[in-house]
Structure 1
Amino acid sequence: SRYPFTSQDPQDEAERKEQRLAIIADHLGFSWAELARELDFSEERINLIRIENPNSLQDQSHALLKLWTEREGVYATETTLIKKLTKINRMDIVHLIETKIINRPLSMSDFGDSLTECEQAEPDF
């Protein structure tokens, strides 16, 4: 059942988490494997992610974060990610998370353009 009066709908929260993970994945680049090691993924698993997602680093990063959230469940927290990102010297991503993301709901189009409102609005015709 939905609680219309709570400020954070669990579904919204889940969506926001997805978006935050997507942003992290988009920025990780080559660091994804380093992050994977910090998150206790074995070299075999890391190589498997590479093989299963041969097209781009972004795909590999997304796959890693998806596997990690599935493995950790409720323990897959931003705090953990922030700690690990700090450890691998990706303060740029930590800064992104802290400034852009935690404070407000984020849409993927916040990166590069400001079409957010237009995209969400229903067309008039």
Structure 2
Amino acid sequence: MMSSLQFNAVLLDISNQLTAKNLEDIKFLNRDTIGKRELERIDSGVKLFQVLTERSGLAPGSTEQLCRMLRDIHRDDLCDKLTRFDSQSDDDDDNNQPDQTEKARLDKATEVITEHLGRSWRKLGRRLGVSEVKLDSISRRHPTELEETAMELLKEWRKSRGAQATAQQLLSALRACQFNLTADKVEQRLNFDTD
């Protein structure tokens, strides 16, 4: 998976290629997402990208929004650079994915957990080792939809663990959080589908 260091290097490169007018145009496109006072303080692409990372989930593998903005300001060259980086990281991700059987088990476990987890998603997130910053970011993106929040949480966890992510780890984390009913439902689903 693309490291955040490599991703930040690409963002820095893009920032260095933005003209002052490009920066103003992108700030204008973000006036509804970022407050006016904060926008006034942003004087470089790097600062803008930091805010976008915090506010709208700009991250490796999640660059569509920034790419769209770059196209809107007629900097297709920079969008292409970002896309090349992303597809390169997807190739790297393919080598870092669980095998197909485990991936199918994870997909089933994820489906059951998102249906049953509810408000306690943060507790599971902490048990799985997802950072507080990521948890806050997920919460901001889905303030009212608990299923979406749980789905996003598990997606984050799977992305961070790569080939090491297993359905068994999810079951262990559920049991450690005392979410035994959900863990039982996951086990039922996994066993039912293998019988």
Q: What band does the TM-score fall into relative to the shorter chain?
A: 0.5 to 0.7
Q: What residue number does 2:160 align with?
A: 71
SS of 1:21's equivalent in the other structure is helix
Q: Give the CA deviation at 1:19.
A: 2.9
Shift of 1:17: 3.0
Greater alpha carbon shift after TM alignment, 95-104 vs 78-87: 95-104
* Larger CA Rg, structure 1 vs 2: 2
8 Å contact from structure 2 (residues 106, 166) kept in 1: no
Structure 1: stretches of 5+ with no match in the other structure: 1-9, 106-125
Higher helix share: 2
User: Which of 39, 54, 74 is the aligned partner of 2:143?
Assistant: 54
Give the alignment of 1:84-123 within 5 angstroms. Answer: 84-104=173-193
For residues 33 and 46 of structure 1, what CA distance do their matches in structure 2 show?
7
Residue 83 of structure 1: how far off its partner (Å)? 1.0
Q: Distance in 2 between matches of 1:16 and 1:100?
A: 9
Q: CA deviation at 1:98?
A: 1.4
Q: 2:111, 2:176 → 1: CA distance?
A: 20
Distance 1:40-1:12 versus aligned 2 partners, 3 A rule: closer
* CA distance 1:19–1:99, change in 2 (3 Å): closer
**Residue in 1 aligned with 2:117?**
28
Q: Deviations over 1:62-119 (max 9, x none)?
A: 00000111110111111111111111100001111112223316xxxxxxxxxxxxxx
Whose relative contact order is higher, 1 or 2, with alpha carbons under 8 Å and at least 6 apart? Answer: 1
Number of residue pairs matched by the alignment: 96
2:170 to 66, 76, 81: 81
Question: Counterpart amino acid of 1:20?
Answer: A
Instruction: Give identity over the alignment, percent.
Output: 28
**Quick one: which amino acid aligns to residue 99 of structure 1?**
Q
- In structure 2, runs of 5+ residues without a counterpart are 1-98
